Amino acid sequence: EPETSLNIQGCTSEGDLLFAQKCKELQGFIRPLTDLLNRLKMGRFDRGLSSFQQSVAMDRLQRIVGVLKNPQMGERYLGTLLQVEGMLKTWFPHIAVRKSALGTNRHQLTK
């Protein structure tokens, strides 16, 4: 399956590989995040959010999508990515997380 294969070039440590795998697992969230970002840009949330809040939300969403699209960023962002994962699962409980090659042991390795 070419879609689920990882590009591990540049993964110099186990942490880098874990980060890349976690990004791959969470790529299913890119589309709903992008949809949310587009709705923010179109002003769909003008009543509920101030312009500053909208600006911050758009910045954060763009950053999250950017990280998920760049699994080669490395292990120094692994802790943050794990926190983002919890948030994404809360925001989008209907989105299934892709299973990684490490299976259930990946959480033991990152704790």
Q: Is 30 exposed, middle or buried (0-12, 13-18, 19+ CB in 10 A)?
A: middle
Of the listed ranges 45-54, 85-94, 100-109, the one predicted with least confidence: 100-109
Tell me the whole-structure pTM to 2 decimals: 0.74
Start-to-end Cα distance in the chain: 29
Confidence (pLDDT) at 11: 58
Q: Is 51 exposed, middle or buried (0-12, 13-18, 19+ CB in 10 A)?
A: exposed
Can you tell me the mean pLDDT for 32-36? 95
d(CA 70, CA 66): 6
In tens, the pLDDT along 10-25 reads 557 888 999 999 999 9
Task: Please check whether residue 102 is in contact with residue 18, taking contact to mean a CB–CB distance below 8 angstroms.
Answer: yes
